[in-house]
Amino acid sequence: VEAEVLEVEREAGDEGMEAAEFAIYTHLTEETPGAIESEEQAKEVAEEIVSQFQERVDRGYNGWKTNKKTISEIEHILLDVLVVEYGLGHLIQDDDDFVDAVRNYLIQNDG
């Protein structure tokens, strides 16, 4: 498992992305490739989700990862980025697993 983590971190670095951003990008391009227009769009979406997460989610206290406010804010970020900015609402409308996966990527990697 540690080798896998190091490999993902290396790949993320090679792409010039943070770990959470790379995980979201990879999910978009490998798990839901028909839902996006291009790899470039996937990169932009991943970058914006992580940027919004870092800007809007308070991570400065113990328990933030399981706080209902954190979970709610992540869902609002996904709505804002996917639906409002990119017109990709079908990603969250048709697939609860996508929302769960992105939330986990963000929380596990502190955005």
pLDDT tens per residue across span 59-81: 999 999 999 999 999 999 999 99
pTM, whole model, 2 decimals?
0.86
* Residue-level pLDDT at 46: 96
Which own/partner pairs from 49-57 qualify as long-range (CB within 8 Å, at least 24 positions apart)? 49/21, 49/24, 49/77, 49/78, 49/81, 49/102, 49/106, 50/18, 50/20, 50/21, 50/24, 50/106, 50/111, 52/77, 52/80, 52/81, 53/20, 53/77, 53/106, 53/111, 54/111, 57/106, 57/111
pLDDT tens per residue across span 46-56: 999 999 999 99
Confidence of residue 24 (pLDDT cuts 50, 70, 90): very high
